[in-house]
Amino acid sequence: MTTRTAARKKSIAKSAKSAEPAGSVKSAPFQAPARALEWVGEVDGWVEMIDQTRLPASCEILQIRTAEEIAEAIRRLSVRGAPAIGVAAAYGVVLGARSAAGNGLGSFQRALKEAIEKLAASRPTAVNLFWALKRMEEKAKSWIAEGREAREVASLLLEEARAIHREDAALCEAIGRHGAALLRDGETVLTHCNAGALATGGLGTALAVIYRAVQDGKKIRVYADETRPLLQGARLTAWELVRAGIEVTLLCDSAAPVLLRAGRVDAVVVGADRIARNGDAANKIGTYGLAVHARGQGVPFYIAAPSTTFDLSIASGRQIPIEERRPEEVTAGFGLATAPEGVRVYNPAFDVTPAALITAFITEHGVIRPPYRRSIAAALKRR
């Protein structure tokens, strides 16, 4: 997972370098954000993805040719964000299955099963991962039941993975369109973590709302939380927005309540990794506190997410598994010791925001408002 495509790296890095932030930035006219990942070639091809662990210092492109490498990229956060993880997992199924396509149907089925199991174990919270794996597995089983040969099934799996990628891009466009209608010209949005193009197969979820509003001619300013401990807001969201030419100001997570109390924020817009059928929503750690403060100051709190992020199999957020990550992310983030050796660490990657604190969900089907037990079920009948 070390080879990179020089031409694409040079193009992205050049545009990123020309728009590096120095605080609150007013940048160039809007340009489309870089794609998080893409498939190159036909069934014998590979996945190219931006290594998000390297941003913003450098923009490196990974070439990935095995399901194991996709799973590792998900684990180490080279690719992250629920929709992008789902797309990556779909491509990972192709990479795993195609490795045995020439060895007969039995070997192909074993390779397919092994790839799905490895990918499913990569991260526990983002429901899109499991949704994409289930869709790929069910499609493969149906084609095998029809009597198709392994090589043909491998090619069909690539078509299905590409369809998942295209569909996610279309969902992002629709989310952006519906969400932009909620923002007025001149408003200021606060966001947390990264829910942009780097987190999806398209323009993003939360950031798609901002991108579309700007494309519609509205002047939108953005405050982006750093999002500790891995600084996805500082490293990724700020990078995306500066590159897109959108005014953004970076702040520590703990400064967000001060902004809200001062009346300097008109709306909070974030993404989600899993949403229960009652409207409880898991997102990056720190989201729950932001929702509490937004409610206290009367600021609308929106979650932008595709229908694939809703998990109707669980009744409430209490059933959402919360990933806990390595203590070193807190004690020695990015290689620098910031805590005494041996200290105990609590490092959940996500928290759950109760439905009562969420003003509305912005989906490809439109804006979903309370009461969520009824409105979510009604909206998702169409997916």
List the catalytic residues.
Answer: 273
* Rounded CA separation 219/180 (Å): 11
Q: How far is CA 202 from the centre of its chain?
A: 10
Q: How far is CA 291 from the centre of its chain?
A: 19
* Rounded CA separation 288/281 (Å): 9
- Residue 151 token pair: 């090589």
Strand locations in the chain, DSSP E? Answer: 37-40, 46-50, 61-64, 188-191, 221-225, 248-251, 267-270, 274-276, 281-284, 301-304, 310-311, 350-353, 360-363, 366-368
Residues 205, 306: contact at Cβ < 8 Å?
Answer: yes
* Rounded CA separation 191/1 (Å): 31
* Rounded CA separation 87/168 (Å): 8
Residues 50, 34: contact at Cβ < 8 Å?
Answer: yes
Q: Could you tell me which of 162, 166, 372, 382 has the C-alpha nearest to residue 275?
A: 372
Distances (CA, A) of 80 to 85, 123, 129, 204: 6, 10, 11, 12
